[in-house]
Amino acid sequence: MNMESGLKTAMTVEMKIRDIYAAAFEKCSDAAGRRFFAMMRDDEQYHHDYLGMRLKEWEQSGDIQYQEIKMNVPTGQQIQACIQDVQKAMTVEDRGVIQQMLSNALKGEVLTSEFYEKMVSDSDGQVKKMFARFLEIENGHIAAVQAELDYVMNTGYWFDFKEFDME
């Protein structure tokens, strides 16, 4: 895949995952859930905008200079606070809706990470560095969404660590 096509595809990928979060934000009635989905939606929009700037740079100069990409993935502490708020207000029906939205988001994040993995392996130099950073960020998104999903589904796991056992 050439650079222009890679950047345009990355922008499309970011728009798709942003739209998943935007739809989840619109459907979610829980305030804490809406904050989480808005935060993730806005992060994906930032990625899209960043890639758009790199595309313009590529079109004008035929090169890309890596510029730091902010990492807006919530920390474990932020997710825990969000989950505690959700726990207080969430009905069983809300749990099911949020579970479905998080499942959709997780699928989207996994596909996004797979795309960036391919871009990292097919690139070099500054471009490879940029896509590697996106891969790191998207893997952080997977962890954040999985943590939320684990909580909603009462799996007993928190960031892949077993918190409790049903026995």
Percentage of the chain exceeding pLDDT 90: 41
Residue-number span of the structural domain to which 79 is assigned: 3-162
Answer positive or negative: Cα dihedral of 103, 109, 113, 114.
positive
Closest CA to 94 of 153, 22, 29: 29
Domain membership flag for residue 105: yes
In the chain, how many domains are there?
A: 1
Helix axes 31-61, 76-89, angle to 10 degrees: 140
Question: Domain containing 99 — which CATH number?
Answer: 1.20.1260.10
Residue 151 lies in a domain: yes
- Identify the weakest region by mean pLDDT among 6-20, 72-86, 108-122: 72-86
Q: What is the pLDDT of residue 46?
A: 95
Q: Please state the φ and ψ torsions of residue 29, each to the nearest 5 degrees.
A: -95, -15
Name the pLDDT band for 80 (thresholds 50, 70, 90): low
Q: Is 117 exposed, middle or buried (0-12, 13-18, 19+ CB in 10 A)?
A: middle
In the chain, count H helices and then E strands. Answer: 5, 2
Tell me, what's the pLDDT at 94? 59
The answer to whether position 167 is within a domain reads no
pLDDT band at residue 88 using 50, 70 and 90 as cut-offs:
low
pTM score over 0.95: no
Task: Give the residue-averaged pLDDT of 17-36.
Answer: 88
Residue 76, pLDDT score: 56
Is 65 a member of any domain? yes
Beta strands in 10-50 (DSSP E): none
